[in-house]
Chain A
Amino acid sequence: MNDLQNTSGNADAQLNKLTIIVDSKKDLPGGLLPILHDIQHEYGFIPKVALGIIATKLNQTEAEIHGVISFYHHFRLTEPGANIVEICRGEACQAMGSKQLENHAKTSLNIDFGQTTTNKNVTLEPVYCLGNCACAPSVKVGDNVHGRMNDKKFDKLMNKLTTFELSLSDNKLQENK
């Protein structure tokens, strides 16, 4: 199965794009992680077709590239939901009730860690420390950390994610309501 053909009809253009990304970093000492970051930044995940391109350009096997990708929690080989929501499981957050928050998130979204909601809006992930330990518990949505989280605030945050999407697709004016 070719992931790229699934996401877009124009597979050639995307192969081109992948090649450009790999070429731009392949000569850096230890360039594999920067390459993987760039690809994931572009697509939200690392399409399977990218592995072959990287392997050829870096003179490694696809298995080696896969081995690196699978070692790191951050890299993903499947497409995530529109929003990646990470709940901190570190001790500082535990001391402030993150376990309860974790359970609430799983129940209210009806998914476990590593899963995506059926509407593809949210992918839930555990994270081990966001460096916001003085204002725990913490949740990260995309690149934004939210502190002093509780069940109620979490629901609000999740609602915002859906509302924003609706207002954009519905009518721009609704945002100002």
Chain B
Amino acid sequence: MDVKVFIPRDTTALAMGADDVVKALKFQSKQNINIIRNGSRGLFYLEPLLELATSNGRVAFGPVEVDDVESLIAHGLLEHNIDKLQNHPLYLGLTKDIPYLAKQDRLTFARAGIIDPINLDDYLSLDGFKGLEKALNLNNQQIVDEVKASGLRGRGGAAFPTGIKWQTVLDAPASQKYIVCNADEGDSGTFADRLIMEADPFVLIEGMIIAGLAVNATQGYIYLRSEYPQAKIILEQAIKIAYDKNYLGKHICTSNNHFDLEVRIGAGAYICGEETSLLESLEGKRGLVRSKPPLPAIEGFLGQPTIVNNVISLTSVPIIFTKGAQYYENYGMGRSRGTLPVQLAGNIKQGGLVELGFGASLDTLINEFGGGTYSGQPMKAIQVGGPLGAYLPKTQWHTQLDYEAFKDIDAVLGHGGVVVFDDTADMAQQARFAMEFCAVESCGKCTPCRIGSVRGVEVIDKIINHDNQKMNLELLNDLCDTMELGSLCAMGGMTPFPVRSVIEHFGSDLVKPSLAKGEK
């Protein structure tokens, strides 16, 4: 039997040494060995994850380092000697039965890690382009209605109903419309966009084509951040294949529908994840935020009606068509329908991607999936939703993953990033960093954000250094009000979220009690 081994070419797998493992395996196996470079399953704590195809399915080993290759071969990797391989310390059993994976609702990420990302046949064999096939038989309004019925809301963080955005673009009269994919995944602690682009790029292409069909847009752009070079390579390979096989271009699947797609690379600016700043950047300008209205759906790229959707919103579209809006809508709770790919990151033992229907509690995620901290120290704080998200204390970890539930506690779910801190974290420094980050990344257009963030760092420094703490705390609160109410976009408007959460829940880090006594 042919030996078929899977070792991912995903960024995290590579960062943990996947290429070296491949080299060692090729070098040490004296026979022909078929090594497939798949995407990652998202079980990053196990990367590099090596899988062996067997008659019962794929079995996994991980995390595999170069030094483990010799023992894997000695245990009969190349002879499919499962009896012996079972005794290998890195043996994990059937991949699909690993609890971390088995307990998930893999809808959007159904194919991640299973297929070779740029093998079209792999994609087609697992329902690939079935959603497009269905959409090709629907009219514009029917496509938009299906997305509306699914309850899908923007997964970039703002959670705006995707179907309504599409409807606005559909209703806007114009000779040229655009589909822009926001792949400027800048939030720390998030990697869902990167993971799916590297593991299953065709699903993004398919989602964008369907969006194009929905509103009669013939041109799409994927605005990808420059920090993701591996995603660029894989996306461009996939787009080329899609053109060669007539999924892109003038006659999609022999129909009269036309859709072109191009990857555009950002240049290291967090603010370009904000949709209007992104559009400016895409137009070749400084990424200054535009004031709204007009909405991008009315006047977007080059002044034309434009759908700007996050990667996960667009990659969730194909399954909505393949399995039906109702199927997707059945997952979730309240007004948060479908699934959310949560990303467990930071000081966590088992970091990775967990796709679940909305409604699971943060506790479940960090303990059942995450397995506690990486350091083994107790957890102190969890930041959810990126650099603009609040730091949550233990008393809030029971919160259910739901847009509205998070809003109720002055927090945000955002793009689903969950960053865990252990008890060595100094939350005063985290509050300071929130302001510092805003100062570095502000586009500079509006004063509360541009100047407020600089003043924020100064004021927090004063508080940390016991300089008129009471007065400066008041000033900080006041500054937060100004930024929240007076900024043009979420950058300045939400930077106060993490700062205020530190003041409220970790105040003793900011104003050390023993030292604060002498203060008036």
Contact = CB atoms under 8 A, between A and B. Distances in A.
Interface in A9-32: 29-32
Contacts of B287: 71-72
Given A90-B189, A92-B419, A95-B422, A133 B343 contact: yes
Given A74-B226, A134-B191, A145 B15 contact: yes
Contacts of A132: 11-12, 15, 191
Given A133-B188, A133-B191, A91 B383 contact: yes
A90 B387 contact: yes
Interface stretch (B30-38, B66-74, B346-354): B346-354
Interface residues of A, number: 41
A145 B44 CA distance: 14
A73 interface: yes
A92 to B, nearest CB: 4
A128 B437 contact: yes
A34 B264 contact: yes
A91 B440 contact: no
Interface string B265-295: 1111110000000000111111100000000
Nearest to B228: A131
Scoring B45, B281, B286, B345 by chain A CB atoms within 10 A of each residue's CB, the highest score goes to B345
A33 B346 contact: no
B44 A135 contact: yes
Nearest to B373: A95
A146 B15 contact: yes
A78 B287 CA distance: 22
B233 to A, nearest CB: 9
Interface string A133-176: 11110101001111110000000000000000000000000000
Given A129-B187, A133-B417, A138-B15, A30 B344 contact: no
A71 B301 CA distance: 20
A95 B283 contact: no
B16 A135 contact: yes
Contact of A95 (B44, B45, B186, B419): B419
Given A128-B441, A131-B227, A133-B351, A144 B14 contact: yes
Contacts of A92: 188-189, 345-346, 417, 419
Contacts of B188: 90-93, 128-129, 133
A68 interface: yes
Interface string A25-45: 000011111101100000000
B229 interface: yes
Nearest to B262: A28
B80 to A, nearest CB: 30
B189 A91 contact: yes
Contacts of A140: 227
Contacts, number: 156
A29 B346 contact: no
Given A32-B284, A92-B188, A129-B187, A134 B344 contact: yes
Given A68-B284, A133-B190, A133-B346, A91 B185 contact: no
B9 to A, nearest CB: 12
Nearest to B353: A134
Given A129-B186, A134-B351, A91 B11 contact: no
A31 B433 contact: no
Contacts of B194: 131
A135 B346 contact: no
B497 to A, nearest CB: 13
A127 interface: yes
A73 B268 contact: yes
Given A129-B186, A131-B228, A135-B12, A75 B267 contact: yes
A95 B421 contact: yes
Interface string B397-420: 000000000000000000001011
A127 B286 contact: no
B331 interface: no
28 contacts: A30-B264, A33-B282, A34-B264, A37-B226, A71-B287, A72-B267, A73-B268, A73-B269, A74-B267, A90-B387, A91-B189, A92-B189, A92-B345, A92-B417, A94-B430, A95-B421, A128-B188, A128-B437, A131-B185, A131-B190, A131-B227, A133-B343, A134-B344, A134-B351, A136-B346, A143-B230, A147-B12, A148-B16
Interface of B: 11-12, 14-16, 44-45, 47, 185-191, 193-194, 226-230, 264-270, 281-287, 301-302, 343-348, 351-352, 374, 383, 387, 417, 419-422, 425, 430, 433, 437, 440-441, 443
Given A33-B264, A94-B430, A127-B268, 18 more contacts: A30-B285, A33-B266, A33-B282, A33-B284, A34-B265, A37-B267, A90-B387, A91-B189, A127-B227, A128-B270, A129-B190, A131-B12, A131-B227, A133-B191, A133-B345, A133-B419, A135-B16, A145-B12
The 7 closest A-B pairs by CB, nearest first: A134-B351, A90-B188, A32-B284, A133-B345, A72-B267, A95-B346, A74-B268
